[in-house]
Structures are given as structure tokens and as C-alpha cells.
Structure 1
């Protein structure tokens, strides 16, 4: 078992451009999932925006990003980053979740999501937003 800790940057419509820029700087593979890909469109104009994106290089660089949907408050600089904890082991993620939620505010309960066997979001008592999920290979099909 192992986990990866990755900066998860929040944007309003610029996630794809930011990820493309980071890829040009650091190299690596760029993967994006749009709201349409995930069947999670709440505003048709945002269907092709990034619901989840990542640049990962063999050298170890990794950054994730998404476009905050219009129905969610977004103030640049106020919540610019999530800390993403990913593992391929559901029990490991659930264990971290149980300890992390103590004294915290659950934003999205840890549960199955369209893109992951487990996904959850919590704001800890220090104001840090954590995203925990079980990592699976992405296929657009």
C-alpha cells in the first residue's frame, strides 16, 4: 500500500489551460475528465470544463486541477488548493478518512462516486480542505 499527496488547484474555467502550461513546464502525461465525461453536468455551458485533471511525470511531478462549477462559491485565493490523498486501497483511504473527519466538517461524505469506488471531501479544523479517493485508471469509454 502507498499513498500520494498531490496539490489540487481550483480554477473557474482555466483548469485545462493551467494543466497544459504545467505540462509544458514539467513534462509528463496530461489527463482530463470533463463534467460531460463524468455525466455530471449541472450547467450546459460548463460541460467541457475540467471536473478532474492531472499532470504526472515519471520524475515525480504531480498536480491536479479542476474548474469550480458556477453553482459553487469561488473566490480566487480563498480556497485555491485542496490536498488530495489517493490510494488504490479502499481500506487505507477509509482509515485516513475516519481519523481526518474528527473535529472536521464533511463537505462530501466518503462514498462511491461516478469516477471512483470511494471519494470524499472534508475541511479540517484548521481550514484545510482534503480530498480522499481510491485511484483507478481512467478510460473515456
Structure 2
């Protein structure tokens, strides 16, 4: 089971987003869906009664959840998805990458054009029509293997120059975690200080992530538009991670919290989908900040 699952906030159009990604991304399929209940909703949720709530999308074995919600939040490039195209797995890898690029960019915005860069022979960064950001990269087959999809955290705005601090904190907080590559800026680069993170990658719970300090002034930072859901084995793990990651009381709601760097997390029990099928579980969850497994069960 994937321990940490990125969640993407959609503004009432998640069903449309599912169809878009199933067409745009290789080896993609929906593996599970859930719907809003028809009663017990908060006032702002009532227009979504009975509609799609979440869709779990599997992309080449990697899970991402699409949340169908309101207009409160939207993804931005502070958290993007690095998609690694490995020449050793595909004889026509450039054409494959270009095809994915063309599909994802329809109706979107190009942040860095698809081109040859010092760090990759073929790379581009785009924001799709839903605001979700993707970095498509031709990888070096002689390098250490990396997964097809890696969530990438860009520290800019209020979080500028905090990437190294954050990576070290996350590694200390999660199990089976370690630093991989670390490449510092050797001199001041825009808002990025010398010695801050030009690129790093690391594992949390055995899963790869990457982080960088932005080399360009940004007027945005992390938001709940992209959150990281942690599937916890028991209440003890929920309590421990909540204590470590929740520092913004006003962000605490239904298992959601925000850390000191502004990154949003969902601290949830394994098997949340089954728990939510219990009569009254949705209403009980709406009254919670940190999730209580027994409380969700009504016991």
C-alpha cells in the first residue's frame, strides 16, 4: 500500500479531470471512487450531495487522489509532479514524452518549454488546465533509478530558502527516510541564497520526493490545492504525525493540517474508505480536527 498519497483539489470538475488524465498520462486508470452522502453535509457542500467526492487514479502504479470540492483552493506550481521517462524502458522515449506533453499542455500554461537543458537532454515544465504542474524529464539511464512519478516541492514566497530545513525535518519525522541527491546553489541566484537547495531528492516511508528553493521570485507558496495524505496504521501513528506536522490551528479540519513550511497534510487511518461507509461517519468526521478512529466508527 502506498503510504503517502498526493491529493489534488478540483473545483467541482474532478470527474472531468479523471477523464483528462486517463487520456493524457500513460498506464492510467481509476481504481476507486467515493461519493458525497445525500444528507448531513455542511451548507457549502450541499450542491455536491450524491456527486463524486474522490477518485483514486493509478498512474503507472503510482496513486494520486482527485478531490471534488468547491472553489476554496486550487493547485499551483509549489508542488509539481516530476515524470521520469527512462530510455532503457522505451525505444522511442522522446516521442512518448512529447505525446504526454502535448496532451497535458492542452488548455494549460508552459512554465519552461520542452527543450534541451544542462540537467536533461529533454525537459519541460507545464501547468495543466486544472492548475496541476508537471515536469517531464528524459532521465539518464546510467544514473540511480527513480520512480516514474516523484512529487516535487518548490520553496518560494514565504517558504523561500527553507527547503533544506524542511527536508531534514521530514526525514526525521517519517520512517524509512533518507537523503538522496543534494545540489546547492554555489552563489546567490535570484531569491535563492548561496548554499540553499538547487535540487535535492529524498525518501519518506520509502517513497521518493524532491525539493528545491526557487531561483525566481514567486508570489505563491504551498496551499491545500495539493496536499499529502498519510495512511496511518493506527491511532498512535495518527497522534504522533499530527503532533509533528500540525502548527496552524485554523487549518485543522477533518484530518487536514498544515506544517511550519505551509505544506498541507491529511493524517488519516488506513482503510479510510471503509470507515466512511459506517452510518453517520461522514457527519462525525465533519466535527473532528484530528481524526479519531473510534469516533469515526461511532464507538
Q: TM-score, normalization: structure 1?
A: 0.68
Unaligned ranges ≥5, structure 2: 77-219, 279-299
Q: Which has the higher strand share?
A: 1
CA shift in 2, pair 1:45/1:38, >3 Å = closer
8 Å CA contact 2:12, 2:69 repeated in 1: yes
Kindly indicate whether structure 1 or structure 2 has the higher relative contact order, using CA contacts under 8 Å at least 6 residues apart. Answer: 1
Distance 2:40 2:20 in 1: 26
8 Å CA contact 2:9, 2:66 repeated in 1: yes
For residue 129 of structure 1, report the CA deviation from its aligned partner.
0.8
Distance 1:93 1:76 in 2: 25
Pairing 1:53–2:55 present: yes
Moved >6 Å (runs of 4+) = none
Matched with 1:108 is 252
Once the two structures are superposed, residues 41-71 of structure 1 have per-residue CA deviations (whole angstroms, 9 ceiling, x without a partner) of: 63443224433321236x531001212235x
CA shift in 2, pair 1:69/1:98, >3 Å = same
For residue 105 of structure 1, report the CA deviation from its aligned partner.
0.6
| Partner secondary structure for residue 97 of structure 1 | helix
Distance 1:39 1:138 in 2: 17
Matched with 1:113 is none
Matched with 1:10 is 9
For residue 20 of structure 1, report the CA deviation from its aligned partner.
3.6
8 Å CA contact 2:9, 2:74 repeated in 1: no
CA shift in 2, pair 1:86/1:37, >3 Å = farther
For residue 76 of structure 1, report the CA deviation from its aligned partner.
5.3
Pairing 1:97–2:232 present: no
| Partner secondary structure for residue 241 of structure 2 | helix
For residue 128 of structure 1, report the CA deviation from its aligned partner.
0.8
Once the two structures are superposed, residues 29-48 of structure 1 have per-residue CA deviations (whole angstroms, 9 ceiling, x without a partner) of: 43222222685363443224
8 Å CA contact 1:3, 1:87 repeated in 2: no
Single out whichever of 79-88 and 8-17 deviates more from structure 2: 79-88
What RMSD in Å do the two structures reach over aligned CA positions?
Answer: 3.0
Distance 2:58 2:39 in 1: 21
8 Å CA contact 1:19, 1:54 repeated in 2: no
